[in-house]
Amino acid sequence: MLYICLVHFDDKEVFSRLSDAEKRELDIASTGYDRELERSGNLIRAQALQAPESAVLVRVRDGRISATDGPFLETKEQLGGFILIEARDLNDAIRIAAGIPLAQYGTIEVRPIYHVPKHEEAAR
């Protein structure tokens, strides 16, 4: 079963607190964990995101497009990246998520992937 592990953390707090050497160690640990998941067959895709300030929020209302600079959430923790994994079940996905190095600094949201059913009308 596919699960997404959404990595939420307060990037300003975490990165201001860590020294350059600690940031480097975190990068090495993160990419090392990705390689470990790849070897075990659990990794589908992992990607870090740029800072929330680089986000653009897009909405369509009444046929009109609106684009607003982000971030928009009133929270300290922001989405910082994701890891798409293959896991046996939710417990296995939680075990994998607990190994993500940034879990020590923030929150990992584990959510099953929803497979959109194919509808005949969509093919037209």
The pLDDT profile of the chain, 124 residues, written as one tens digit per residue, is: 999 999 999 888 888 899 999 999 999 999 999 999 999 999 999 999 888 788 887 889 999 998 888 766 666 778 889 999 999 999 999 999 999 999 998 999 999 998 888 887 766 6
> pTM surpassing 0.95?
no
CATH class of 2-115: alpha beta
pLDDT of residue 28: 96
Q: What share of the chain is helix, strand, coil (3-state, %, to 5)?
A: 40, 35, 30
Nearest in space to 5 (alpha carbons), one of 115, 87, 109:
109
What are the E-state strand segments in the chain? Answer: 2-9, 43-48, 56-61, 64-69, 78-86, 107-112
- What are the residue ranges spanned by the domains of the chain? 2-115
pLDDT of residue 39: 97
Going by the DSSP 8-state scheme, the letter that residue 62 receives in this structure is T
